[in-house]
Structure 1
Amino acid sequence: MKEARCIIHGKVQGVWFRAWTADMARELGITGWVRNLPDGGVEALAQGEKAILERFIERLHDGPPLARVTQVDIDWREPGDSWDRFSVTG
C-alpha cells in the first residue's frame, strides 16, 4: 500500500475535474480525496497499490474533456490516515 499526493495544475477548476477524479479513483479501487486549491489547482491524496496509483496518476495528466492539465506534481509517501472510500472535499 502506497500514498500519492498529487497537485494538478492548469485549467482544472470549473471543468468537473474533482468529480471525474473521484469516479476514476472509485473505478480503480483507490481511496482518499480530491479538493480545489485557492491558487486554481487541484489536490488529490490517493492510497492503493503502487501499480494502480501509477495508472491513476497517468490519467490525471489527461483529465476530463474540458480540462487542460499543464503539470502534475507527485509526492510519494507511506500512508498516513486511511479512508474507506474516495471523496470530493472543499
Structure 2
Amino acid sequence: MSQYRSVEIVVRGRVQGVGYRAWAKTRAEALGLSGHVRNRREGTVEARLTGPAEAVTAMVAACREGPAGARVADVGVADIPAAAGERGVRILPTA
C-alpha cells in the first residue's frame, strides 16, 4: 500500500496571469491528488495537495517548471495535516 502525504506548496516568481492554477489543477488530478490551488495576494500561487507520496513528489517537481509562460523563482514545500474527504482539485479565490 502506498504511503500518503499532504503538502503545502508555495510557488514564487511570475506565476500569476500565466494559467498556473489551471495547469496545476490538471496536473495534480492527472497524478491522482486532491486538494486546492489558489493565488495569494502577495503574488504567489499556493497549492495544498494530498495523495500518494510518489505522486506528491512528482507534483512538487512539476511545480518547479510550471506551465509555458511561468517563470518559477522558488518553490517552498511544507508537510501539513491531511484534509479528510477531499476529492479532486479545486481552484479557490485569492487569499
Q: Which runs of 4+ in 1 moved over 6 A?
A: none
- CA–CA distance in structure 1, aligned partners of residues 43 and 84 of structure 2: 26
Aligned length, in residue pairs:
90
Q: Which runs of 5+ in 2 are unaligned?
A: none
Letter in 2 for 1:11: R
- 2:11 aligned residue: 8
Say if 2:93 is the partner of 1:62.
Answer: no
Matching of residues 1-90 of structure 1 within 5 Å: 1-90=4-93
Shift of 1:77: 2.8
Percentage identity across paired residues of the two chains: 29
- CA–CA distance in structure 1, aligned partners of residues 46 and 84 of structure 2: 16
- Whether the 8 Å contact between 1:61 and 1:72 is mirrored in structure 2 is yes
| CA RMSD after TM alignment | 0.9
Q: Which runs of 5+ in 1 are unaligned?
A: none
- CA–CA distance in structure 2, aligned partners of residues 55 and 7 of structure 1: 15
Give the 3-state SS of the residue equivalent to 1:75 in structure 2: strand
Letter in 2 for 1:23: T
Give the 3-state SS of the residue equivalent to 1:26 in structure 2: helix
Shift of 1:87: 1.1
Shift of 1:57: 0.4
Shift of 1:2: 1.2
